[in-house]
Amino acid sequence: MVVVRVQLCICKVFNSKKGREFVMKSVMKQWARAEQICLIGHLVSMAFGLAGLLWVMPHPEVLSFIPSGPTLFRWSMAGGGVVYILLGMIAVSFYAYRMLGAYRWLTFMLPAIVISLSSELLGTSTGFPFGHYSYLSGLGYKIAGLVPFTIPLSWFYLGFSSYVLARAGLTALAARQSRSLGWLGQIGAIALGALLLTSWDFVLDPAMSQTALPFWYWHQPGAFFGMPYQNFVGWMGTGTVFMTVAAFLWRKMPPALQTTQLNFPLAIYLGNFAFATVMSIGAGFWVPILLGLLLGVAPAVLCWKSAQMIPASVMPLAAEPKRATLEEPIEQIAA
């Protein structure tokens, strides 16, 4: 009898509009909390990675002052890169689903992962489009023995953050002129998003391939601090392709974010840029940092700032679509 009464109460909750809204808000609140936890974990794990690479490795004697220090250090070096990338991917996935809905989340994530993985597999096996390079250990299981499974995940979460910031900034610019984001604006958002993504690699790649414990290496070191210039063309091209696919799939359901909701993608972008910057400082690479600040951080912050200056009622990212909610799954449960 108790079980029957509980079931009846649950059905009453699901069958009432207020009950569905209460359940939806409760679940979304839990997801928002999980998103924040993953973001914090993502940033903290990068900080610990920097400490291990730049402080502990040059001074291994400090491990003697930490209980089980050598064991913990080996574990962190073996899995630390995997953890911070997974946490970044999960945090961005929560954010994308909550803010934009399942359709726009999946239609960005799946093309980004599939296209970037295809480029990476092609690059590591033929040298096109990035140049000839190989991945070492530290980033997880290698797909086809060539590309760590975490690499396309990082393309997704950095690419998503870059594109959302670029689109928001250009939409704000159009809103000031009482216009919507037309097809030229769409092309500009894709180009700017790909540039933000590539600018992160300006700073990351030289340091990560030339540390005391490198994660990949170039078969023939190039002219740009060990990288071939072809690598940047490959990054711009790959980012442009999957952002174009996402923009095409979003054309009938364009995103609509409030300006206050852009803090998260900015935090992801700046947090990962800071990680790459500290690595480059440790390696003594200053020119890549300056280029990254000029072509990546400055435009990203300007896009974010530009969106903040436009009232939310004036500047949606596009025409307001029907927001994805949990009502449909709940209605299916109730039925």
Q: Is the dihedral of CA 212, 218, 221, 226 positive or negative?
A: negative
d(CA 43, CA 47): 6
For residue 133, list its beta bridge partners: 218
Burial status of residue 127 (CB atoms within 10 A of its CB: 0-12, 13-18, 19 or more): middle
pLDDT at residue 78, as a whole number: 63
Helix then strand then coil, % of the chain, to nearest 5: 75, 5, 25
pLDDT at residue 325, as a whole number: 45
pLDDT at residue 334, as a whole number: 41
Evaluate whether 162 touches 266 at the Cβ level (below 8 Å): no
Block mean pLDDT (10 aa), the chain, length 335: 51 56 74 95 91 71 69 66 95 96 96 98 97 93 97 98 95 85 93 98 90 87 93 98 97 78 96 95 93 97 88 49 43 41
Average pLDDT, the chain: 85
Coil, strand or helix: which one is 204? helix
d(CA 209, CA 134): 10
pLDDT at residue 326, as a whole number: 44
